[in-house]
Amino acid sequence: MVLQRAPQRAVVWGYSDTSNSPITLTMNGRVYTTNAADKTWSVTLDAQSEEGPFDIHVNQPLTNGTVVTITLHDILFGDVWICSGQSNMQFSVYEMLNATIEIDNAGKYPKVRFMTTQHNQSETLEEELLGITLNWTIASPDSVGSNFTSAVCWLYGRMIHQALGGRPMGLVHTSWGATEIEFWAPKQALQACNVTNDLGIIVNNSVLYNAMIHPLTRMVIKGAIWYQGEDNIRVHTALYPCMFSKMIETWRSVWHERTKSLTDPNFPFGFVQLSTKTKDPDTIGGFPWVRWHQTFDVGHVPNDVVQNVFMASAMDLRDDDAP
């Protein structure tokens, strides 16, 4: 896997069967000690400018005198990015144009590593992912060609990896097709935007944020990228600029707080603006509005509504022959 590099400090955490049990973590000759308060432990590593690879060993003595050891092998330090959204983010590498070439070349980038979360919903905030579809893996033709490897996430990470001279990239893909932004926004973001249905209650209840984003917020990250909006052409379209801006701001504040202020409270957040669409006449009118609302009703990004946001325009990428 990849953990966040210097100048940020990565956090490693886990569970213990007992409270107040001493925990020892060793990496690259450095020893860290802590206690498992309430059966949860956490260690903040020193800032790592070396990329590795390193092994991480975590030891816990048991009451019977034995020691339990968990070892994480082949850890690199680079930049960690979250990739989220709906079907355009979920879209796999093997489905893209020139997929064969991209997949055949994947083995050239072993420092690009990625994982994909399982589709799960929860009515309450989860501390841990309820499932993982693709465990942390090294880029190879088999892994990049998997049905669970996002094309946008992979291409973004691979290109940034090359542009930064081979810096390790850790890509966490957590998306779900045909989902509205309400699923991904924390409850406090929806409340701030007065998002209600006809019964006067908040819709969709942040169930994907609870299950597929919040468990990741103990991981120190570099930033996030987002590709979503199609499913809001009929649902709360006018509220999209508020929901989008409040979602970004809340993600940032939660990540900053839960990583002990180690994740930048203004981390970069990028998104893809929706392209045009002609196949379904019922959606033609909605797409321009969502494109406008994706810019927080300003018409361009960056802007002053939400800081440190960047946009990729896909207006020239429409494929009329696509299904």
Indicate the range of 10-14, 22-26, 226-230, 272-276 predicted with least confidence: 272-276
Q: Which two tokens stand for residue 13?
A: 């955490």
Is residue 282 over pLDDT 70?
no
C-alpha 311/C-alpha 78 separation (Å) is: 23
Quote the CA–CA distance of 98 and 261 in Å, as a whole number.
41
What is the per-residue pLDDT for 37? 83
pLDDT, mean of residues 264-287: 81
Q: Which pLDDT score is estimated for 278? A: 59
CATH code, residues 2-74: 2.60.40.10
Give the pLDDT confidence score for residue 287 in this predicted structure: 85
Amino acid at 248: I
Residue type, 323: P
Confidence at residue 71, expressed as pLDDT on a 0 to 100 scale: 97
Note the pTM of the prediction, 2 decimals. 0.94
d(CA 130, CA 16): 18
Return d(Cα 267, Cα 247) in angstroms, integer. Answer: 13
Q: Please check the confidence at residue 87 and state whether its pLDDT lies above 60.
A: yes
pLDDT at 322: 61
- Is the peptide bond preceding residue 7 cis, with omega within 30 degrees of 0? yes
In which residue ranges of the chain is CATH 2.60.40.10 found? 2-74
Say how far apart CA 75 and CA 53 lie, in whole Å: 5
- What is the tens place of the pLDDT at every residue in 110-135? 999 999 999 999 999 999 999 999 99
- 226 closest CA partner among 129, 122, 285, 150: 150
Q: Report the alpha-carbon distance of residue 60 to residue 42 in Å, rounded.
A: 13
For residue 320, pLDDT beyond 80: no
Q: Tell me: the pLDDT tens digits for 174-220?
A: 999 999 999 999 999 999 999 976 556 568 689 999 999 999 999 99
Question: Contact at 8 Å (CB) between 106 and 144?
Answer: yes
Looking from the CA of 276 toward its CB, the CA atoms found within 13 Å total 7
Q: Return the pLDDT at 263.
A: 98
Q: What is the mean pLDDT of the chain?
A: 93
Query: For tokens 């957040």, what's the residue?
Result: 269
pLDDT per residue as tens digits for the range 45-82: 999 999 999 999 999 988 788 899 999 999 999 999 99
pLDDT number for residue 286: 78
Does the N-terminal peptide bond of residue 53 adopt cis geometry, omega within 30 degrees of 0? yes
Q: Which of 14-28, 60-74, 239-253, 275-289 has the weakest average pLDDT? A: 275-289
Provide CATH 3.40.50.1110 ranges for the chain.
76-313
The three state secondary structure string of the chain is CEEECCCCCCEEEEECCCCCEEEEEEECCEEEEEEEECCEEEEECCCCCCCCCEEEEEEEECCCCCEEEEEEEEEEEEEEEEEEECHHHHCEHHHCCCHHHHHHCHHHCCCEEEEEECCCCCCCCCCCCCCEEEEEEECCHHHHCCCCCEHHHHHHHHHHHHHCCCCCEEEEEEECCCCCHHHHCCHHHHHHCCCCCCCCCCCCCCHHHHHHHHHHCCCCCCEEEEECCHHHCCCCHHHHHHHHHHHHHHHHHHHHHHCCCCCCCCCCEEEEECCCCCCCHHHCCHHHHHHHHHCCCCCCCCCCCCCCEEEEECCCCCCCCCC
Partnered with residue 313 across adjacent β-strands are 273
Query: 16-20, 79-83, 235-239, 297-301: lowest mean pLDDT where?
Result: 16-20
137-174 per-position pLDDT tens digit = 999 999 999 999 999 999 999 999 999 999 999 999 99
Distance (Å) of CA 78 to CA 27, 151, 175: 16, 20, 22
10 Å CB burial of residue 65 (0-12, 13-18, 19+) is exposed
CATH of 76-313, one of 3.40.50.1110, 3.20.20.70, 3.40.50.720, 3.30.930.10: 3.40.50.1110
Query: CA-CA distances (angstroms) from residue 146 to 120, 149, 310, 319?
Result: 20, 6, 28, 23
